[in-house]
Structure 1
Amino acid sequence: MDDKFTWKWQYILLFVPFLLSIIDVTIVFSNPAPYYNQIVENAINFPKERFNAKYGLLNLNEHYSLRHLWQLIYLLSLLPLLRRFLDINPNDKLKVILNRWLLLFYAALTLMAFITLFFGVERMLGINTLNVSTTSLYSLQIILFLVLLLISIAPLYFPSILYGFPKNQLLVSSSISNDTNSNSQMYGLDNRELNNSLITIEQQEAFLKQGFNLKACAELLHVPAYHAAYFFYQTKGISFTSYRNNIRVEKAKQLIDSGFLESNDLNTLISACGFNSKSDFEKTFEKLTTTSYNNYQLK
């Protein structure tokens, strides 16, 4: 939710459950070997009681509940910051994607913290108000962990989530939103200068190089990757990937029309246009031209 991470001394409080567990582990291993062996033996012989066994300052149930209580408290403390962030430019296409992912991620984390804390406290008190079996509890936890895993993997398929949101630049540019030149200074960036740089990059045929991605383009534009992502969305109306693929497909059409394939094979054409594989080339070509590569070549 911020442009960058800045350490604050208050963050030490987040490590309280971890520090307590380190203390208890130290207490356990500072005792003679029979002490540790007895713990293991009791855990094997009385598995249901192992969470109530006190090994140091706290027992496992208390460690478990404290960890999730800490997580829940911290997540709830983030609510005001989350609300303010969601209200920033909520109609922006890329921001909508980021907001949805962030809300889903926050909800899943909060739900997991609440459910695990609830059952942890129940186990500490020796009650079962909802008559939920241990197996059902573990199944629920596994489902929540899978949901979190899926959400964590999502940015790999929607990289715009990882690029963040240039909040500081937006706040700077909002002061000139009424200016007639505000479009050229969107998000605090000089879009006119970036467009000129982009033309130079195209002339150098950098988009036709294999492995040319948003990060590489951002380096040539001399801006962070998330700024470059917003630059393409706001000035071109499409993502960097779509913009790059358009250039590559147009290059492929030019080469085919000029008789390139009369003296070269398909793999040479694919490489010359920056695609990684035949399947990638054919899929992208058909998507952008609404006709297959083979049909285009026949025409």
Structure 2
Amino acid sequence: MINILLIAAIFGFVLSTTLFFKKSTNTIATRILGSFYFLLSVYALQAFIIDGGYLEHFTWFFLWPLLPYHLIFIPIYYYFKVILTDQFKWDKAELILLIPFLLGLIDVVYVYLQPVNFYNNIIFQAIASPEHRLEAEYWLLSLDQHLLMRHVWQLGVLVVLIPPIKKFIKKGNNDELKSILNKWLITFWSILTLMAVLAILYALEKMFDENLFHSLIIIGKDGGIITFFLYIALFLIGIIPIYFPSILYGYPQKIKPSSNIIKEEQPEELKFGLDEQEVISKLESLKESKSYLNQSFNLTECARELDMPSHHISYFLKSYYGLSFSSYKNDLRMGYAKRLIEDGYLQNNTIEALAGECGFASRTSFSKAFKNATEVSPSQYAIDMR
């Protein structure tokens, strides 16, 4: 069961690296999420080292992690805030989030300022009796009190987020990407809340030296049902992004449909699409590369070239241009075909050659697409251009 912590740590380190360096449609949100997964990975790794009995080989990995652990709920808060409001904004009232960190800083500095024997005694007790390591006394608070405070703050943050999350989920339920985002936020929030509750119960058990569920001991002679489910919660948080791969790219931001596109009346509420300028820039690069002229060019190939999920591309094209991917591709091909005709391509080449040049497998399919786009045949268009 201890190995669950190691697996969660490995998954977390891989995910945090991916979130930091992967190209994203919402850089701020994905990097904040990456910082959370990095802290979670350090948290799980230290728990594996201590509970697995390896602390004697990593004695340096005990006191200082208290400080980053007291920051773990801050990226949680700001990740949700950025997703829900589409912006990163700091408020003075949010200084309350730093209280656990400041108390932890005081205690960590206090311990390091003590004679070496003071710190060595804390390490010795943690190695000799890992299950009682949280009883270590610092100056302001004991280690179990620090654990309790940290997760009370985490639970408080998650409770504060309930109203804006509920309001956010009610909007745009018919939107495919919004539906995926809703599921991810609910799942992520739920597991984080479970983790906070279990960690609070775990800290209370250690503080009062009482197993709250005597008959359900699972992990060793001193383990229990709370410890078991806390490990499971950490494991789930570490691997749950596998079921929501879109978070690796970031979720889209709000945009308005282009004013140049004639569409049916749209509701005043902004729809969720991708970052307008970024995606348009990528589409311009696609035009310049002319890869859309390849007969094998499809949505999958387009996604690979733009380094975006295919459903994001389809969503953006539909929301911004009112076109399916197939229609957008044909529009690009028809634009290229018209330029070739205007430059006199058909004076020395056949329509079959023009069809192949524009990415079509046959003259028939090309002529049909061209007539749908221009209301005239390629040959007639050539005549009109003379």
Q: TM-score range by the shorter chain?
A: 0.5 to 0.7
Distance 2:171 2:111 in 1: 50
Matched with 2:202 is 119
- Would the alpha carbon gap of residues 127 and 186 (structure 1) be closer, same or farther in structure 2, given more than 3 Å must change? closer
Aligned-pair identity in percent equals 27
* Mapping 1:1-299, distance limit 5 Å: 1-131=84-214, 132-133=216-217, 134=223, 136-155=225-244, 157-159=245-247, 162-166=250-254, 169=255, 180-182=264-266, 187=271, 202=287, 205=290, 207=292, 212-213=305-306, 230-234=315-319, 235-237=322-324, 254=359
Question: What is the DSSP-based 3-state SS (H/G/I as helix, E as strand, rest coil) of the residue aligned with 2:173?
Answer: coil
Matched with 1:277 is none
Question: Alpha-carbon deviation of 1:34?
Answer: 1.8
CA deviation profile, 1:88-141 (whole Å, cap 9, x unmatched): 111111111110111101111011111111221132122223224425444322
Distance 1:12 1:160 in 2: 29
Question: Partner letter of residue 94 of structure 2?
Answer: Y
- Would the alpha carbon gap of residues 201 and 253 (structure 1) be closer, same or farther in structure 2, given more than 3 Å must change? closer
8 Å contact from structure 2 (residues 172, 271) kept in 1: no
8 Å contact from structure 2 (residues 181, 251) kept in 1: no
8 Å contact from structure 1 (residues 214, 229) kept in 2: no
Question: Alpha-carbon deviation of 1:232?
Answer: 2.2
Question: Partner letter of residue 106 of structure 1?
Answer: W
- Would the alpha carbon gap of residues 163 and 233 (structure 1) be closer, same or farther in structure 2, given more than 3 Å must change? farther
Distance 2:307 2:230 in 1: 37
8 Å contact from structure 2 (residues 198, 226) kept in 1: no
Q: Number of aligned pairs?
A: 230
Question: Alpha-carbon deviation of 1:77?
Answer: 0.5
CA deviation profile, 1:204-225 (whole Å, cap 9, x unmatched): 515579962156xxxxxxxxxx
Question: Alpha-carbon deviation of 1:251?
Answer: 8.4
Question: Alpha-carbon deviation of 1:60?
Answer: 1.1
8 Å contact from structure 1 (residues 108, 147) kept in 2: yes
Q: Give unmatched runs, 5+ long, in structure 1.
A: 174-178, 216-225, 259-299
- Would the alpha carbon gap of residues 69 and 213 (structure 1) be closer, same or farther in structure 2, given more than 3 Å must change? same
Question: Alpha-carbon deviation of 1:254?
Answer: 4.2
Aligned residues: CA RMSD: 4.4
Matched with 1:218 is none
Distance 1:188 1:17 in 2: 36
Question: Partner letter of residue 49 of structure 1?
Answer: H
The alignment's TM-score, normalised by the length of structure 2, stands at 0.49
Distance 1:159 1:17 in 2: 29
